[in-house]
Amino acid sequence: MIQKALACFCLLTLSLFSHANYKLKLVHQDKDIIWGIDFFDSTHLVYSLKSKGQLVFLNTVNGTSQKLDIPESVAKGQGGLEDVKIYKDHLYFTLTVLEGDTYTTALAKGKIKDYKISSYQIIFKAKVKSDTGRHFGSRLVFVDDTLFMTVGDRGERKYAQDLDVHNGKVLRLDLNGQAISSNPFSTKPNALREIFSYGHRNPQGLSYNANTKTLFEAEFGPRGGDELNIIEPGKNYGWPVITYGKEYWGPKIGEKRKEGMEQPLVHWTPSISPSGMDFYHNAAIKEFKDQLFMAALGSEHVRRIVVKDNKVVSQNKMFEKLKERFRQVRNGPDGYLYFTTDSGKIFKLISQTK
């Protein structure tokens, strides 16, 4: 059911963080985790409410919104209604669904009309082994008419190394949710054809660097060992055989290096809990152009990462004083960066210089 509501729209009135060259403003406030966000154009956007299982279509000019209930979405543990992406007149979104006797990550697609969708269909369900409510992953990125989708290990780490399930994988699909024929394991016996890379724990960050044509992924480690990776076809990223993290109660997990398994571009201990991220390829804030911005949940900040020649050369924390669990980062059509939080806020980072 579509529900109309008046938004708390504060773009012009409330500045929460100010710097000589830029400032952070509160654009919108809701009452649930805003897991994903994307833009129709400079006047309309859509975001997902994780626990409520609703898509919200927001008019950024007058602050009005419409909400669409997604009854298939189940708020199971860390799962719920998750990422959203707009591509070629369609809205794609991920959600946690009950499949048989387990919960899994699914992909849905709906036709856009008048800045919203009124119907949709589920076009893909991940094949997983798990009875937990943990590690659903669930980020989406489109690259040249293909869709990359992450699936977490679902709290069953051993399956991240198995190619007959989707636990702990980055998938590559076509626009209808089918496997791409050129995927690296499409001809391997017993392997699932959707798999693009494997050996991941809980990948909640995914961004494509258009300048270098490189796919970047970020994932949670256990106690430490959070990772930033460059994703390449068929590669094994090691979890749980190699990791820089430890068990939550102290003992180490596996090794740190092993032949045939990829090393992270950078890893973090203590954990920063990396979630959504995006490369900023706009010029509205010149000093940030082509840098990677990452939402950090547990450590409550946005991390600005300078990447050159596919190597991290520097990084720093931003907006720590707000004490917000930042969930997602997106480029806006106006040339600025937007951030969502677990407290239901949408922030916008804008320039203070011309």
Q: Which residues of 174-212 are buried (b: 16+ CB within 10 A; e: fewer)?
A: eeebebbeebbbeeeeebbbbbbbbbbbbbbbbbbbeee
Strands, sheet with 146-151, edge to edge from the N-terminal-most edge strand: 140-143, 146-151, 169-173, 195-198
Tell me the three state secondary structure of residue 220: strand
DSSP of 108-122, one letter per residue? EEEE-BTTB-S--EE
Token reading at 147: 């869709």
For the question of residue 19 being annotated catalytic, the response is no
- How far is residue 247's CA from residue 242's CA, in Å, rounded to a whole number? 13
CA-to-CA separations, 161 to 102, 157, 307, in angstroms, rounded? 20, 8, 29
Phi, psi at 159, each rounded to 5°: -75, -10
Type of residue at 210: A
Q: Which of 19, 44, 90, 135 is catalytic?
A: 135
Contact 1, 335 (CB under 8 A): no
Sign of CA dihedral 179, 184, 188, 191: negative
CA-to-CA separations, 109 to 58, 72, 84, 112, 124, in angstroms, rounded? 19, 13, 10, 10, 9
- How far is residue 67's CA from residue 277's CA, in Å, rounded to a whole number? 25
Phi, psi at 157, each rounded to 5°: -60, -35
Contact 198, 172 (CB under 8 A): no
- How far is residue 261's CA from residue 223's CA, in Å, rounded to a whole number? 20
**Paired strand residues for 202:** 220
Strands, sheet with 202-209, edge to edge from the N-terminal-most edge strand: 202-209, 214-220, 226-231, 266-268
What amino acid positions are annotated as catalytic residues?
A: 135
